[in-house]
């Protein structure tokens, strides 16, 4: 497979619940003079069912009447258990050889290996570097493989690296952040194996890229590699978050349900065979979800009660279960207070409210961060990490941002170029250190303004 085909992808709020109103009480809490009929009584008695303007509403999940009539959730929030919960975009993203994070001064710092000209690097040498991406007030970041995208405060999406562009039959190298035109105001962005998607302020999903697997909703069997202009996916609506994996994508809708589409053979899409689900398929068992992460062969989610769920392929225990693959979301035992999930190739991680991170699945390259190379089918705590505020995974490694702003990573990462030496760290290692000027970030130590391994 060509290298460019390897182009791979914090919830605020507190748990609560909404009780259904007493069937013998009026909407305003008073006792009605005339008893309601049996049909109305039964409907009202359902958990979270309330009457708004003469229409019964699901106050547990309706983003227009979340917990109470007329209580509308923001466009970047879901209604889960009757509470509007913000779906915070990622500000820490991992590519195959380059990682990026939002610095405290609102600049995007990227470290690792770069192509000549990328982010202004004049030449290619053997030393990893740290560079700054010029993004005005960034609010969201996403990376996969050798591609990176960001959304700024004005809702404009910009991308750089090896990305697909309309008019080209293969992804094209873009050295500096380039505005992606013909896109709506963006709230969030997710980069996939061969393209990217944004969530607009209208909660629609717009995607562009080389769509040979249906992940961008425009699969054409006669022209499987035809680049596409940005297009609004017609069957994906009312979305708060989108996550693109490998030949698949999932969306978290504002009613806190999860819908996925793409190639069924990936394991993420329910069903058997390798046909393409061109329209979104609901993920059974995924309810009251507040965070999702999609990978190559599996996906995971966190719900409003602090539980983690995974589904798809379980060849290395990445579902957190000793059982086989799952066609519906299955709860990961041994975890509570989960606020964010992340998935790599064959491992999964979860961040809990206390700041600890737990991982499970394949560990041949130190992906679980427990200091061993032993795979686990149940979650294990990442060694020495108790203050994480953000988490993300990619390929065979994961990174977390600490409360201090420092970023630590573990697993196997590429340190020079995408086909050169790799660095395996089975326990968290600080990847970001200030250079002498106090602003540049490095993968490892820094000497004379250059990042060293």
Task: pLDDT band for 372, please (50, 70, 90 cuts).
Answer: very high
Which of residues 447 and 320 earns the better pLDDT score?
A: 320
- The per-residue pLDDT for 165 is 62
Half-sphere exposure of 277 (CA within 13 A, CB side): 26
How many whole angstroms separate alpha carbon 168 and alpha carbon 179? 17
Q: What is the separation of C-alpha 401 from the centre of its chain, rounded to a whole number of angstroms?
A: 15
pLDDT exceeds 70 at position 416: no
Which of residues 225 and 382 earns the better pLDDT score?
A: 382
Using CB atoms within 10 Å of the CB of residue 104, give its burial: 0 to 12 exposed, 13 to 18 middle, 19+ buried. exposed
Percent of the chain past pLDDT 90, that is, above it, reads: 46
- The per-residue pLDDT for 338 is 98
- The per-residue pLDDT for 172 is 76
Phi, psi of 425 (to 5 degrees): -130, 110
- Segment 10-35 mean pLDDT: 31
Tens digits of residue pLDDT in 99-124: 888 876 577 888 777 777 788 765 55
- The per-residue pLDDT for 14 is 30
How many whole angstroms separate alpha carbon 396 and alpha carbon 364? 9
Structure tokens at 370: 């427990």
Question: Which domains are assigned to the chain?
Answer: 3-9+87-451 (2.130.10.30)
Task: pLDDT band for 170, please (50, 70, 90 cuts).
Answer: low
Least confident of 66-75, 173-182, 347-356: 173-182
Residues 6+ away with beta carbon under 8 Å from 427: 366, 369, 370, 371, 382, 383, 384, 410
Tell me the DSSP string of 67-134: SSTT-PPPTTEEEETTEEEE-PPPSEEE-SSEEEEE-TTSPEEEEE---TTGGG--S--SS-EEEEE-
pLDDT exceeds 60 at position 39: no
pLDDT exceeds 70 at position 420: no
How many whole angstroms separate alpha carbon 142 and alpha carbon 385? 23
How many whole angstroms separate alpha carbon 314 and alpha carbon 186? 34
- The per-residue pLDDT for 264 is 73
- The per-residue pLDDT for 181 is 79
Do 431 and 437 contact (CB within 8 A), yes or no? no
Do 142 and 191 contact (CB within 8 A), yes or no? yes
How many whole angstroms separate alpha carbon 397 and alpha carbon 388? 16
- The per-residue pLDDT for 104 is 66
Tens digits of residue pLDDT in 231-287: 888 888 999 999 998 888 999 999 999 999 888 766 788 766 666 777 899 999 999
Do 321 and 311 contact (CB within 8 A), yes or no? no
Q: What angle do CA 56, 58, 60 make, to 5 degrees?
A: 155
The region that residue 183 occupies, defined by phi over 0 for left and psi between -120 and 50 for alpha, beta otherwise, is beta
How many whole angstroms separate alpha carbon 261 and alpha carbon 253? 14
How many whole angstroms separate alpha carbon 245 and alpha carbon 315? 17
pLDDT exceeds 60 at position 389: yes
pLDDT exceeds 80 at position 18: no
Half-sphere exposure of 292 (CA within 13 A, CB side): 32
How many whole angstroms separate alpha carbon 68 and alpha carbon 64? 9
Phi, psi of 266 (to 5 degrees): -70, -20
- The per-residue pLDDT for 55 is 95
pLDDT exceeds 90 at position 143: yes
Tens digits of residue pLDDT in 285-296: 999 999 999 998
pTM more than 0.85: no
Tell me the DSSP string of 365-378: TSTT-SSS---EEE
Which of residues 334 and 19 earns the better pLDDT score?
A: 334
How many whole angstroms separate alpha carbon 76 and alpha carbon 289? 14
Average pLDDT score, the chain: 78
Task: pLDDT band for 453, please (50, 70, 90 cuts).
Answer: very low
- Segment 14-42 mean pLDDT: 31
Tens digits of residue pLDDT in 390-414: 999 999 999 998 898 878 889 987 6
- The per-residue pLDDT for 151 is 94
Short-list 347, 354, 365, 368, CA closest to 428: 368
How many whole angstroms separate alpha carbon 161 and alpha carbon 145? 9
- The per-residue pLDDT for 405 is 80
pLDDT exceeds 90 at position 329: yes
- The per-residue pLDDT for 361 is 97
Structure tokens at 54: 């003469």
């Amino acid at each position: 497979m060509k290298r460019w085909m390897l182009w791979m992808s914090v919830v605020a709020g507190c748990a609560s619940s909404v009780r259904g109103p007493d069937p013998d009480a009026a909407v305003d809490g008073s006792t009605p003079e005339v008893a309601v009929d049996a049909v109305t009584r039964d409907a009202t008695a359902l958990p979270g069912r309330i009457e708004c303007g003469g229409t019964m509403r699901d106050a547990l999940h309706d983003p227009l009447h979340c917990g109470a009539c007329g209580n509308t959730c923001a466009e970047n929030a879901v209604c889960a258990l009757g509470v509007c919960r913000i779906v915070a975009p990622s500000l820490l993203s991992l590519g195959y050889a380059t990682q990026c994070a939002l610095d405290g001064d609102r600049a995007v710092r990227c470290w690792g290996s770069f192509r000549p000209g990328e982010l202004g690097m004049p030449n290619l040498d053997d030393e990893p570097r740290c560079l700054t991406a010029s993004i005005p007030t960034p609010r969201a970041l996403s990376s996969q493989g050798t591609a990176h995208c960001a959304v700024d405060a004005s809702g404009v999406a910009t991308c750089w690296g090896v990305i697909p562009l309309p008019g080209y039959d293969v992804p094209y190298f873009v050295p500096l952040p380039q505005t992606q035109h013909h896109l709506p105001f963006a709230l969030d962005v997710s980069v996939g194996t061969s393209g990217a998607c944004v969530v607009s302020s209208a909660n629609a999903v717009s995607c562009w890229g080389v769509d040979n697997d249906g992940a961008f909703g425009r699969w054409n069997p006669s022209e499987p590699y035809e680049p596409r202009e940005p297009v609004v996916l017609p069957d994906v609506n009312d979305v708060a978050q989108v996550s693109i994996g490998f030949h698949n994508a999932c969306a978290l809708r504002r009613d806190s349900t999860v819908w996925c589409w793409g190639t069924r053979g990936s394991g993420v899409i329910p069903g058997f065979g390798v046909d393409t689900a061109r329209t979104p398929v609901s993920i059974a068992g995924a309810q009251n979800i507040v965070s999702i992460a999609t990978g190559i062969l599996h996906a995971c989610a966190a719900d409003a009660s602090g539980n983690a769920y995974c589904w798809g392929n379980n060849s290395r225990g990445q579902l957190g279960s000793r059982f086989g693959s799952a066609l519906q979301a299955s709860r990961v035992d041994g975890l509570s207070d989960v606020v964010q999930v992340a998935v790599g190739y064959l491992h999964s991680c979860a961040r809990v409210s206390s700041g600890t991170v737990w991982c499970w699945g394949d560990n041949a390259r130190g992906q679980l961060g427990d200091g061993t190379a032993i795979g686990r089918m149940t979650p294990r705590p990442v060694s020495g990490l108790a203050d994480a505020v953000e988490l993300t995974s990619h390929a065979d490694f994961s990174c977390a941002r600490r409360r201090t702003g420092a970023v630590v990573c573990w697993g196997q990462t590429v340190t020079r170029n995408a086909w050169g030496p790799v660095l395996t760290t089975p326990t968290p290692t600080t990847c970001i250190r200030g250079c002498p000027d106090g602003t540049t970030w490095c993968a490892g130590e820094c000497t004379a303004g250059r990042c060293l391994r």
